[in-house]
Chain A
Amino acid sequence: MEKASIKILIADDEVDFRNLLKFWLESKGYSILDASNGQEAIEITRRDNPDMIFMDLRMPVMDGIEAIKEIRKFNQEVPIIVISAYVEDPKVKEVLEYGISGEFYKGDDFQKSLVLLESVLKTHKRLKK
């Protein structure tokens, strides 16, 4: 699969962080979709069927937890990596039962997000096959 054809959705209300992550992943050749709250994330997932989602848990209008619950109702396939604002964020526990592929802590290096993303995509592809 061509990297450019891999669509990744980033849902985060922190515009700067979202844009920076977007730039970073785009520079690595991925196509990026972005959403600033849970509601938008659901709509984009339904419409554009991304290959992977980075989901922030704390967002206005609809938070990441609600969005993940909703998305899992119509899409059990798509791997979701949660973006956490704290190390050992207690909110992460609330979504574990909905099938989470990993956790990316905002303070971590972007390189880590890439490693995480690639390993998740690989596992997922293998599973699909």
Chain B
Amino acid sequence: MRSIIVFYIVTIIISTFIGFLLVYFSGLTAHPKKRGEKKEVDLSTYTVEDSLEKSIFEEVKTILGPSQRSLELTKKISQVFKKELEEKINYTKEELSKKYETIVEEKTRNEEIAWKKYKEILSDKKETEAVIRSVAEGLVVLDAKGNVIMINPAAERLLGISSKEKVGKPLLEGIKEEQLISLVRGTEENKEIELISPNEETKKILRASSAVIEDENGKPIGMVSVLSDITKQKELDRLKSNFVSNVTHELRTPLVAMEKSISLLLTQDIPEPQQREFLAITQRNLKRLTLLINDLLDLSKLEAGKMQITRQPSSIVNIINEAILGLETWAKTKSLTINKIIEDDLPQINVDPNRILQVLNNLIGNAIKFTPSGGSITVEAHFIRENNEVEVSIQDTGIGISKEDLPKIFDKFFQVGERAYTDIGGTGIGLSIAKEIIQLHKGRIWAESEKGKGAKFIFCLPLE
């Protein structure tokens, strides 16, 4: 653009100059004599004002010689030329500045549009990034070579790696040995990855669902994987399958005892006291079976969130006595003593007596189960004036609960390690039901224990 303008100006200058020369030469041939007089000029006093005048003068001089006339002519030519030039320049300048303005305007407009679009894209990008960042599932994007393009914070956490270190590198490069991806199962699209760690607590099982990213021609250009932590789900699966086998065992044990007693009663000649004993065995196991079935029914209510309580003014002492009465024969078979420490004049509480009885059956039943022969169980009840609540505790001299297991005992299906493998059995739902019942009464339940030192279960119920 600029070079064209310069060329344009130069062409104007040269053509104007030539034009003037031509005019001058035509004048020369018309009046040669009149203007031919030669006059000496003192050229030492002559000063050319600028290079333009100088070059015109040089030209004029070759034709007219170094005379005053030449000088004047030079001046004239120069003035006319300059004037003309100035006009042309001004005009060009104006034109140029107009053009420039239009260009600038257009450019500004384009820039504004571009900026607006850029901002839109930027905010879109930020939005997308925010979405990716806040997705709870881990997201990993790999290019066709398997190098990491992007890892979101959830994936960083799940894999225990940092995005900064990984971008541009293969995903598995440099993953610490303790996090070694040891097990990869499933199809290409759906993998289960087990992140092994020496610490059982931090061991993770991840499910990776992957999809190939293709460009518009269907050529694979990378892969996007969604990682979800399925450790808890797996644990729940395990607990549920344990639960099923425990329930089977829990159903069979009393059935075997009942079947055996009845068949002995029917087929053998049994002395009277033994007959009574066998009937007692049958009755006890029937009760055990009933409690189990009630628990199972409650479990389905619990899962559906449909467990309800019907409150009525009740005496906690009566409920405790009823629970102990029902479980006494069972305790006797293991030579366990049940002690009561119950405060006089306990106030009435507004609770569902059947549900509280269920909780007590559960807690005292557990105490009987987990206390070896000859031990003792102590049931206490107090009124806690400052909280306006009644506190009931059941303490045993049993095998106790380890520190690791203590926080989990109220979890559904959870069973303390060893117990699941013994005939003590249990389904692992009793305590979770007890907890639900107490919470429905707006009360609290917790346990205190040490392995080998017995266990104490405590619950508090507000008076209202």
Q: Do A and B come from one complex?
A: yes
Q: Which residues of A contact B (CB under 8 A)?
A: 12-17, 19-21, 23-24, 27, 36-37, 56, 58-61, 63, 85-86, 106-107, 109-110
What residues of B have a CB within 8 angstroms of the CB of A14 in the complex? 253, 257, 423
**Measured between C-beta atoms, what is the minimum distance from A91 to chain B in Å?**
8
**Measured between C-beta atoms, what is the minimum distance from A18 to chain B in Å?**
10
Besides A17-B260, A107-B252, 7 new A-B residue pairs in contact (Cβ under 8 A), listed by A number: A16-B281, A19-B277, A59-B422, A60-B418, A85-B249, A85-B253, A86-B249
In the complex the two chains form, what is the Cα distance from A109 to B267 in whole Å?
Answer: 12
**Measured between C-beta atoms, what is the minimum distance from A36 to chain B in Å?**
6
What residues of A have a CB within 8 angstroms of the CB of B277 in the complex? 19
B264–A24 CB distance below 8 A:
yes
**Measured between C-beta atoms, what is the minimum distance from A112 to chain B in Å?**
12
**Measured between C-beta atoms, what is the minimum distance from A1 to chain B in Å?**
24
Question: Within the complex, which residue of A23, A63, A106, A110 is in contact with B252, where a contact is CB–CB below 8 Å?
Answer: A106
Q: Is B26 an interface residue (CB 8 A)?
A: no
Q: Decide yes or no: A27 and B268 within 8 Å by CB, A20-B261, A85-B252, A107-B256 being known contacts.
A: yes
In the complex the two chains form, what is the Cα distance from A8 to B94 in whole Å?
Answer: 125
Q: Which residues of B contact A (CB under 8 A)?
A: 249, 252-253, 256-257, 260-261, 263-264, 268, 274, 277-278, 281, 284-285, 333-334, 370, 372-373, 399, 418-419, 421-424
A58–B423 CB distance below 8 A:
yes
Q: Decide yes or no: A16 and B285 within 8 Å by CB, A59-B423, A106-B256 being known contacts.
A: yes
In the complex the two chains form, what is the Cα distance from A27 to B270 in whole Å?
Answer: 9
What residues of A have a CB within 8 angstroms of the CB of B274 in the complex? 23
In the complex the two chains form, what is the Cα distance from A20 to B264 in whole Å?
Answer: 8
What residues of A have a CB within 8 angstroms of the CB of B419 in the complex? 60
**Measured between C-beta atoms, what is the minimum distance from B398 to chain A in Å?**
9
**Measured between C-beta atoms, what is the minimum distance from A114 to chain B in Å?**
13
In the complex the two chains form, what is the Cα distance from A13 to B372 in whole Å?
Answer: 10
What residues of A have a CB within 8 angstroms of the CB of B249 in the complex? 85-86
A60–B257 CB distance below 8 A:
no
A61–B372 CB distance below 8 A:
yes
Question: Within the complex, which residue of B284, B372, B418 is in contact with A16, where a contact is CB–CB below 8 Å?
Answer: B284
In the complex the two chains form, what is the Cα distance from A63 to B424 in whole Å?
Answer: 12
Question: Within the complex, which residue of A23, A24, A56 is in contact with B423, where a contact is CB–CB below 8 Å?
Answer: A56
Return the 6 tightest CB-CB contacts between A and B, nearest first: A16-B257, A60-B422, A20-B260, A14-B423, A15-B333, A13-B423
In the complex the two chains form, what is the Cα distance from A101 to B423 in whole Å?
Answer: 22
6 A/B residue pairs, CB under 8 Å, sorted by A: A16-B284, A17-B256, A59-B422, A60-B418, A63-B421, A106-B252
Which residue from chain A places its CB closest to the CB of B268 in the assembled complex? A27
Q: Decide yes or no: A110 and B260 within 8 Å by CB, A14-B423, A59-B422, A60-B399 being known contacts.
A: yes
**Measured between C-beta atoms, what is the minimum distance from B368 to chain A in Å?**
11
Q: Give the residue among B264, B370, B423 with the most A Cβ atoms within 10 A.
A: B423
**Measured between C-beta atoms, what is the minimum distance from B259 to chain A in Å?**
8
What residues of B have a CB within 8 angstroms of the CB of A37 in the complex? 372
What residues of B have a CB within 8 angstroms of the CB of A13 in the complex? 422-424
**Measured between C-beta atoms, what is the minimum distance from B136 to chain A in Å?**
39
In the complex the two chains form, what is the Cα distance from A40 to B4 in whole Å?
Answer: 113
What residues of A have a CB within 8 angstroms of the CB of B263 in the complex? 109-110
Q: Decide yes or no: A16 and B333 within 8 Å by CB, A60-B418, A85-B252, A107-B256 being known contacts.
A: yes
A85–B285 CB distance below 8 A:
no
Question: Within the complex, which residue of B260, B278, B334 is in contact with A15, where a contact is CB–CB below 8 Å?
Answer: B334
In the complex the two chains form, what is the Cα distance from A19 to B285 in whole Å?
Answer: 14
A63–B422 CB distance below 8 A:
yes
**Measured between C-beta atoms, what is the minimum distance from B290 to chain A in Å?**
16
B252–A20 CB distance below 8 A:
no
**Measured between C-beta atoms, what is the minimum distance from A116 to chain B in Å?**
16
